[in-house]
């Protein structure tokens, strides 16, 4: 033990304890997101559906990347999904979780008790989809305990990200102090494209 001046403190008390709470991100690529939206359109108001999510869990557990979704054979109603066919051996090693609907594409998604007890116990990630995503992940926290964490869902589209980054480099935003010709970047109002198409002018 050591004397801190305010009393005695054990060696273990002097160390920073690892936290059991940490942020978990679920990153869906754009194609996976589009497939899920198509499933919502196809089965909305008809039945629930369930799919296996393929991807990888980050080494430190803080990020789960999903790059594909597989729909197994299943028997579904508006209230349940049963008789789910096991995944193929090659898919098992890449399954990071499941995603399923509750029969309607509107409404705030929330896992049921059955979802949490069974579906959520089989894989690290469980997602429920409605008008948006609800995701939880069962992962080992930095404190060493296995816990269920709420997740932030991110939809990633590298192509669009590259497109907008390129556009930001090419579009130079000019800043004018004053406009000598009516405030349209140096153009007279009558020089604006399509000005003659209007019967009345808002300016």
Helix (H) or strand (E) holding 138: strand 133-140
From 172, 175, 133, 135, select the one nearest 151 (Cα to Cα).
Answer: 135
Residue 64 lies in a domain: yes
Mean pLDDT throughout 6-27?
61
Instruction: Find the domain containing 69 and state its range.
Output: 26-160
If DSSP codes are grouped into helix, strand and coil, which group holds residue 39?
helix
Predicted pLDDT of residue 131? 84
- Per the structure, the count of domains in the chain is 1
Q: How many angstroms separate the CA atoms of 131 and 109, rounded? A: 7
Residue 46 lies in a domain: yes
Residue 175 lies in a domain: no
3-state secondary structure 97-124: EEEEECCCCCCCCCCCHHHHHHHHHHCC
pLDDT digits (tens, 9 = 90+) for 87-144: 888 889 999 999 999 887 777 788 888 888 888 788 889 999 988 899 988 887 777 7
pLDDT digits (tens, 9 = 90+) for 102-114: 887 777 788 888 8
From 22, 122, 30, 114, select the one nearest 69 (Cα to Cα).
Answer: 30
Residue 33 lies in a domain: yes
Binned at pLDDT 50, 70 and 90, residue 19 comes out as low
Residue 170 lies in a domain: no
Residue 168 lies in a domain: no
Residue 111 lies in a domain: yes
Residues 6+ apart with CB under 8 A from 19: 141, 142, 143
The answer to whether the beta carbons of residues 27 and 154 sit under 8 Å apart is yes
CATH number for the domain including 90? 3.40.140.10
Binned at pLDDT 50, 70 and 90, residue 43 comes out as very high
Residue 173 lies in a domain: no
């Amino acid at each position: 033990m050591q004397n801190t001046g305010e009393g005695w403190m054990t060696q273990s008390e002097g160390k920073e304890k690892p936290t059991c709470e940490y942020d978990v991100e679920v990153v869906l690529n754009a194609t996976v997101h589009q497939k899920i939206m198509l499933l919502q359109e196809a089965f909305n108001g008809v039945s629930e559906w369930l799919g296996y999510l393929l991807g990888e869990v980050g080494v430190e557990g803080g990020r789960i990347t999903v790059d594909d979704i597989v729909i197994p054979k299943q028997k579904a109603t508006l209230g349940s999904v049963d008789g789910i066919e096991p995944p193929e051996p090659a898919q098992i090693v890449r399954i990071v979780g499941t995603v399923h609907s509750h029969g309607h594409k509107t409404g705030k998604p929330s896992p049921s008790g059955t979802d949490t007890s069974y579906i959520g116990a089989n894989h690290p990630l469980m997602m429920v989809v409605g008008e948006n995503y609800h995701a939880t992940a069962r992962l080992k926290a930095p404190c060493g305990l296995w816990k269920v964490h709420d997740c932030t869902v991110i939809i990633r589209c590298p192509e669009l990200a590259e497109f907008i980054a390129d556009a930001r480099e090419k579009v130079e935003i000019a800043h004018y102090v004053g406009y000598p010709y009516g405030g349209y970047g140096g153009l007279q109002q009558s020089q604006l494209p399509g000005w003659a198409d209007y019967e009345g002018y808002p300016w």
